[in-house]
Structure 1
Amino acid sequence: MDTLLTPISLALSVSLQGLVLSLGLIVAIGAQNAFVLRQGLRREHVGSVVLFCAVADALLLTAGVMGMARALGERPGLANAMALAGAVFLAVYGWRALQRARHASQLRASEGGDGLSRGAALAQAAAFTLLNPHVYLDTVLLVGSIGAQQPAALRGWFVAGASSASVFWFVSLGFGARWLAPWFAKPRAWQVLDGLIGTTMLVLAALLLRHAFTGIFG
């Protein structure tokens, strides 16, 4: 009996380590989280956006554990190029959010969103996920390198635990946002949200530019 319990308890321990590490990194104010929250509040293609973000995180985690962490660590030029591309995207999105903050709008909780098509929502989710160098630094490099240190037989458990953190967070953020719908029925609330999102995006863009220029000229 002990010979069975030991490997199982070890696997669960490794899985829990991946879950806690991934959850600690993902629960933060960022471009991807802000976008998922906004889609959840608008009830606009929430399932598709949540599914995409969770699957993308799982694939990036798997790639990191399987060796991409080392590959990206050896190519600083690629990281700098991603930082520049991400900064441009975040700056444009942040400017648009600040423009929206100038005009009052409100959420009709009984209706679906009419702002983005499913394809456009998924395209923006992909941009927020794949054009953010911090996703690669945290998800691929940090989590991936820690997962790669686990014994080969336990790496799958580590990935499963880390991926379950992404699923839990994005489902909670996207579908839990509807509980805030009555508050966001007030036009002023949307202006505040868009203002915060826009400011966050511009700050992140500035940080990414600093990171890229430091890597190029530092």
Structure 2
Amino acid sequence: MMILTIAKGFIIGAGMIIPIGAQNSYILSRAINKNHHLIAATICILCDFALMSLGVFGGGALVASNEFLYQLITWAGVVFLTIYGGMFFRDFWQAQLGSVTEKRQLSTRKVVIFTTLAVTLLNPHVYLDTVVIIGSISGQFQEQEKWLFLFGTMLASLSWFYALSLAAARMSPWLSQDKVQRGINLMVALIMWLIAISLVISLG
């Protein structure tokens, strides 16, 4: 029973985390350039741990019912994702990809930390997945089982973000080729913009 509860948490957590989104796209871009990619992955994991814990132990209803907080986070996310998507599109558009790569490699640790936090915490989808949905699902478990379920979701986050970061860094000689890099920059830009558009639509 214990293993089954952990497995349920792992599967549900993975289902929330693995689909390509702002976090995954940003970690991918950092890992390709080996630019503090493990720090970015760790921040995503720690944020997931905190938000999942909040959801499992009663914070889901609070976030879901606070309309002002949701609106504030949503509009901040729209602005950030639109601007940040534009930065990736600019890199895609530029002909001299070598200069773009060099500039990205010079991102400081503080910049990576700040940007990872922004990509994570200014995206309302993160709260929906971790706090609201996982929090709601955890309601079917007894108190002791909730800890096991939470452990499973945390294990999914830990496994995925480190695996993505390490795998992309290992494949960086191929992923950093000009044509591949341009495709990744365009993909990240479009993902950021699509998320921003979906956030605007959700406000309507």
TM-score band (shorter)? over 0.9
Structure 1: unaligned runs, 5 residues or longer: 1-9
Q: Which protein is bigger by CA-based radius of gyration? A: 1
CA distance in 2, matches of 1:115, 1:169: 26
Describe how 1:4-23 pairs up with structure 2 within 5 A.
Answer: 10-23=1-14
Per-residue deviation, 1:170: 0.3
Sequence identity (%): 28
Question: Aligned letter for 1:191?
Answer: R
**Are the equivalent residues in 1 in contact too, given 2:31–2:172 (CA < 8 A)?**
no
> Is residue 2:24 matched to residue 1:24?
no
Amino acid at match of 1:105: L
**Cross-structure match for 2:142:** 151
Which 4+ residue blocks in structure 1 deviate beyond 6 angstroms? none
Kept in 2: contact 1:53–1:125 (CA 8 A): yes
**How many residues in Structure 1 have an aligned counterpart in Structure 2?**
201
| 1:60 to partner: Cα distance | 0.6
Alignment of 1:154-169 (within 5 A): 154-169=145-160
Query: Structure 2: where are the runs of 5+ without partners?
Result: none
- In structure 1, the residue matched to 2:97 is 105
Tell me how large the CA RMSD over aligned residues is: 1.8
1:145: Cα distance to partner? 1.5
1:135 and 2:126 aligned:
yes
Q: Deviations over 1:154-199 (max 9, x none)?
A: 1111111000000110011101102322223422221111111111
Question: Does the CA contact (< 8 Å) of 1:15 and 1:160 recur in 2?
Answer: yes
Structure 2 partner of 1:70: 61
Q: Which has the larger helix fraction?
A: 2
The corresponding residue for 1:39 is 30
Amino acid in structure 1 at the alignment position of 2:59: M
